[in-house]
Amino acid sequence: MPRVSQDHLDARRRQILDGSRVCFARYGYEGATVRRLEEATGLSRGAIFHHFRDKESLFLALAEEDAARMADVVAAQGLVQVMRDLLSGAGEQPAEWLATRLEVSRRLRTDPEFRARWAERSQLLTQATKLRLQRKLEAGNLRDDVDVDVLTSYLELVLEGLVSHLAMGLPADDLGPVLDLVEESVRHQRVRASLEA
């Protein structure tokens, strides 16, 4: 068996993740058969499952990657920006991102075991949101009459609603002003008052 470099292993892993992301987005979790994953990645099942224990581990790796990417956007621009990206389709790979998220939502509903495996990963986004809000609070830009935990839950609830809305194929072209309202409602009262004046 030939020795392979770490670079080569990383590239392979990347190739599997990118291909399978498209495959999951198109066929859903159950529909993404091993044969289709082979086609989408251009690799054999042996190669794929050398890198990932099973299909669920592969899917969780994708979902985790998305959560990390979202957490980066949250840290820099806030959770409302994640929603704006989702709405405009201007974000990086928005379609696949949404598809993975929907698949996560669906499996959370139907699969208690998956729920447990996902719980720790979902903390990533919550923590990033909470940290961002905490910083805005310290800078005097966040309302201080409502607990940061409540504001975090609020923003996450709206995100979940947006994901569900888009998933149901409902019209989304009028949701920009709704997100403005959401953003405004977590701001400091003083900031809100000056904007409304």
CA 31 – CA 39 distance, rounded (Å): 13
CA 120 – CA 85 distance, rounded (Å): 25
Least gap, CB of 115 to its own copies (angstroms): 6
Least gap, CB of 56 to its own copies (angstroms): 17
- Shorter beta-carbon distance to its own copies: residue 105 or 141: 105
- Ramachandran quadrant class, 93 (left: phi over 0; alpha: psi -120 to 50; beta: rest): left
- Shorter beta-carbon distance to its own copies: residue 71 or 162: 162
Query: Which whole-number Å values give the CA distances from 24 to 34, 37, 73, 167, 184, in the listed order?
Result: 11, 8, 23, 15, 36
DSSP 159: H
Bridge partners (DSSP) of residue 142 are 187
CA 55 – CA 124 distance, rounded (Å): 22
- Shorter beta-carbon distance to its own copies: residue 38 or 103: 103
Q: Give residues in contact with its own copies (CB under 8 A).
A: 102, 105, 108-109, 112, 115, 145-147, 149-151, 153-154, 157-165, 167-170, 174-175, 177-178, 181-182, 184-185, 189, 193, 196
Least gap, CB of 116 to its own copies (angstroms): 11
Least gap, CB of 143 to its own copies (angstroms): 9
Least gap, CB of 72 to its own copies (angstroms): 23
Distance linking the first and last C-alpha atoms of the chain: 72
- Shorter beta-carbon distance to its own copies: residue 75 or 108: 108
- Shorter beta-carbon distance to its own copies: residue 46 or 169: 169
